[in-house]
Amino acid sequence: MAKYTLKRVLMALLTLFVVACITFFLMHAIPGNPWLSEKTPSEAVINALNEKYGLNEPLIVQLGKYLGNLLRGDLGNSIKMQKNRPVLDIILEMFPVSAQVGVVAILWAVLVGVPLGCLAAYRRGTWVDSLLRVICTIGISMPGFVVATMLLHLLCGTGKPFPALFVSGSLASYVLPCAALGFYPMCYLSRQTRTAMLDAINQEYIKTARAKGLKNKKIIFKHALRNALIPVITYLGPQIAFTLCGGFVVETVFSIPGLGRYFIQSIQNRDYPLIMGTTLFLAAFIIVMNLLVDLAYKLVDPRINLTKGEN
């Protein structure tokens, strides 16, 4: 197990390195530079700024310097959006805002989606199944900005139950963003669960469980669900990372000062260190979640051997 963990950590570092390199070259491949705004500064100013932030050096040298700093835990400073503020600081300020919304969104997606999937599988072919199918198909196929905008339009503003402007700490402000952010994962999870449950319900051990005289509830939730959890967990791992790092669309529509919004804005502004920082943060988060997912497999299914194929 120790060897396995070590291997996974080394793999994670390698992955992060590759992500860093790709992101670095991609972001420099975008036309434009951080200094462009409504008023284009003069050539001399641009050159001076480039020199100040080390952007005049060859890309490979810049990358080397960045990676060197990264090893020391230094993500650099923002060069545009919050000039000269450490990127790490910005992330640590924005992430909790996104995570608060994300945790609630993911929680309701799981707590509603999984049982609904079970219900649809258990009552397959009935109107309940059909109704859930329609709702989930809508949820999966409707873009996030439509859901968010509709909720905003219908329920926010003066005389309506929810405030149009996000106020940190106000409970009412959290309701709609969480609902909008969790809707897609909820629908997707529900469909996943249904498929996996149908597969599990047709297994022979379910017949055994019925022959033993167990109650339906126990058969579904104890015997079938645990066997159906693997695909659900697989999806959930990276999805948690994405959701906690903030949905860009939802954060924009509800004007939440979260990481998701910053992620996109940093690209629009060519704030190079901030792009690198947010991307690496998300990548690291996803890697950690995938590791947790693999460990969770073992908890759910004792047959899974994580260290298989190693000596």
Partner 1 sequence: MENVQQHDKKLHDSAHAQDALGKNLLEVKDLQVSFFTPAGEVKAVGGISYNLKYGEVMGIVGESGSGKSVEAYSIIGLLQSPGKVIGGSITFEGEDVLAKSKEEMIAFRGSKVAMIFQNPMTCLNPVYTIGNQLIEALKAHDKEVSKEEAAKRAMEMLELVGINNVEKRMKQYPHELSGGMRQRVMIAMGLICHPQLLIADEPTTALDVTIQAQILELMKQIQKKTHMGIIFITHNLGVVAEICDKVSVMYAGKMVEQGPVDDIFYQPSHPYTEGLLRSMPRVDAESYERLIPIEGTPVDMLNPPEGCPFAPRCEKAMKICLQKMPPYVEVGEGHRSACWLRVQEQLNKKKEAGGHE
Residues that bind partner 1 (CB under 8 A): 203-205, 207-215, 218, 223, 226-227, 300-303
Token look-up 């300020």 returns 93
Quick one: CA dihedral 192, 197, 200, 202, positive or negative?
negative
Measured from the CB atom, the residue of 104 and 200 that comes closer to partner 1 is 200
In the complex, the smallest distance separating the C-beta of residue 122 from partner 1, rounded to whole angstroms, is 13
Measured from the CB atom, the residue of 51 and 301 that comes closer to partner 1 is 301
Token representation of residue 253: 């529509």
In the complex, the smallest distance separating the C-beta of residue 214 from partner 1, rounded to whole angstroms, is 5
In the complex, the smallest distance separating the C-beta of residue 212 from partner 1, rounded to whole angstroms, is 4
In the complex, the smallest distance separating the C-beta of residue 148 from partner 1, rounded to whole angstroms, is 39
What are the residue ranges of helices labelled H in the chain? Answer: 2-29, 43-52, 59-71, 87-122, 127-141, 144-155, 171-201, 204-211, 216-218, 225-244, 248-253, 259-268, 272-300
Measured from the CB atom, the residue of 7 and 226 that comes closer to partner 1 is 226
Measured from the CB atom, the residue of 70 and 214 that comes closer to partner 1 is 214
Measured from the CB atom, the residue of 114 and 187 that comes closer to partner 1 is 114
In the complex, the smallest distance separating the C-beta of residue 126 from partner 1, rounded to whole angstroms, is 11
Q: Which residues pair with 77 in a beta bridge?
A: 86
CA gyration radius, the chain: 24
Helix axes 127-141, 171-201, angle to 10 degrees: 120
